[in-house]
Structure 1
């Protein structure tokens, strides 16, 4: 079973790395329009907030199962964001 503490740490590391990568891309390519990278950053922040809310949810029957599902959801959202960054 994943602990809430470790899941929050993982979420923080993953989303901050994605945001950092988008910002570095903006700095490295100042001639390009920043709309797409700004959208990626905004989506990363909103996904972070949504996942924190799910992690802190208290009215679940099976906490271990719930946290595993949240962990898988974090992984898929991060993969989608990384795919968008790679497409830039």
Structure 2
């Protein structure tokens, strides 16, 4: 099982890459409205905060199950955000 530090790095890298992709889209499409991109960035930041809070929880009954569900939720959230970026 991977440790908590690696999980936090994964959260940071995944959501950071999505935010970076939105910024790249905005640079490549300066004439288009950036409101939808800003909404995706705001959602990614809110997700980051939520995931980091869950990763920092203490006194868990079943840590293995908790972190597995956290990874699954991260994957689902990342896929949803990537679909939104692709729809821009």
Instruction: State the TM-score, normalizing by the size of structure 1.
Output: 0.96
- Following superposition, the deviation at residue 3 of structure 1 comes to 1.5
Between the aligned partners of 1:59 and 1:46, the Cα distance in structure 2 is: 24
Q: Which runs of 4+ in 1 moved over 4 A?
A: none
| Structure 2 segments unaligned to the other structure (5+ residues) | none
For the aligned residue pairs, the C-alpha RMSD in angstroms reads: 0.7
1:22 aligned residue = 22
Q: In structure 1, list runs of 5 or more residues that go unmatched.
A: none
- SS of 1:2's equivalent? coil
Q: Which residue is 2:61 aligned to? A: 61
Number of aligned positions between the proteins: 88
1:44 corresponds to which residue? 44
TM norm structure 2: 0.96
